[in-house]
Amino acid sequence: MADTQDFAGRVAVVTGASRGIGYQLAKELGKRGAHVFALAKTVGGLEDLDDEIRAAGGTATLVPVDVTDFDALDRLGAAIFERFKKLDILVGNAGILGTLAPTGHIKPKDFEKVMATNVTANFRLIRSLDPLLRQSEAGRAVFMTSAQARDRVPFWGLQAASKAALDAMVVTYAHEMEKAPLRVNLYDPGPVRTGLRAKAMPGEKPESLTQPEEVVPDILKLLSPELAETGLCYRRESGSFEAV
């Protein structure tokens, strides 16, 4: 990555920041000058992240939390307002796979857990942080989606339903914000070497997959103050990066 301070002075929230894409993105934002609120359940991963950001001269606030703790997400908005009075960047990266099964075999508790994590948590983040994002001169929000939202592959119904709902909500929010300096988009990184991917495809050779740090430049483009587009879904495929 380039040694630059192009995000200096900006305040960012990244969920799922203790590993994978969220970890690499939060690290790069911190390295580039942003103050990062890093959310995740895994305290050890957050502490490692904090060490790396500080070693690069950056700063972070660790928030050990499950994103389905909705009261905590409300408190997050209040805490950021008290300290910074604004938020420049929101990355809704946290997500879970859920059960791969015929739709009629999905257990209600599994359905509720996936929808709470992949959809409701992001709604609660928007609800809590929208007033802060609109205080930024160039607010940017990106939410992670997947091909299942469009492809509707058999046995992936739970993932498809949750991501399709997320996509609809995010694009609607983007349209609502068109007259504000806030830009809101979706990003599908494609197959990436993460724990979620390994759970979904246990027989896949991990060395054949894109590394999490390889998709970070794409997301940084979507978080740039220079970005003009909003309400789109960007997808990385065969090394290319474009709206679909």
The enclosing H or E element of 142 equals strand 140-144
pLDDT attached to residue 169: 98
Closest residue by Cα to residue 87 from 182, 174, 18? 182
**Mean pLDDT across the chain, nearest whole number?**
92
Average the pLDDT over 216-220 and give the result: 96
Q: Is residue 31 part of a domain?
A: yes
- Tell which wins on pLDDT, 30 or 193: 30
Summarize pLDDT for 77-107 with one digit per residue, the tens: 999 999 999 999 999 999 999 889 999 999 9
Q: Is residue 164 part of a domain?
A: yes
Q: Is residue 1 part of a domain?
A: no
How many domains does the chain fold into? 1
- In this structure, is the dihedral angle defined by the CA atoms of residues 14, 15, 17 and 19, taken in order, positive or negative? negative
Please work out, in degrees rounded to the nearest 5, the angle formed at the alpha carbon of residue 232 by the alpha carbons of 226 and 212.
Answer: 80
Q: Is residue 6 part of a domain?
A: no
Percent of the chain with pLDDT over 90: 80
Contacts of 33 (CB under 8 A, 6+ apart): 5, 6, 7, 8, 9, 10, 58
CATH code, domain carrying 162: 3.40.50.720
Q: Is residue 114 part of a domain?
A: yes
The whole domain housing 100 covers 11-243
Q: Is residue 2 part of a domain?
A: no
Q: What one-letter code names the amino acid at 62?
A: L
User: The whole model's pTM is what?
Assistant: 0.93
Q: Is residue 3 part of a domain?
A: no
pLDDT attached to residue 96: 94
Assess whether pLDDT exceeds 70 at residue 239: no
Q: Is residue 211 part of a domain?
A: yes
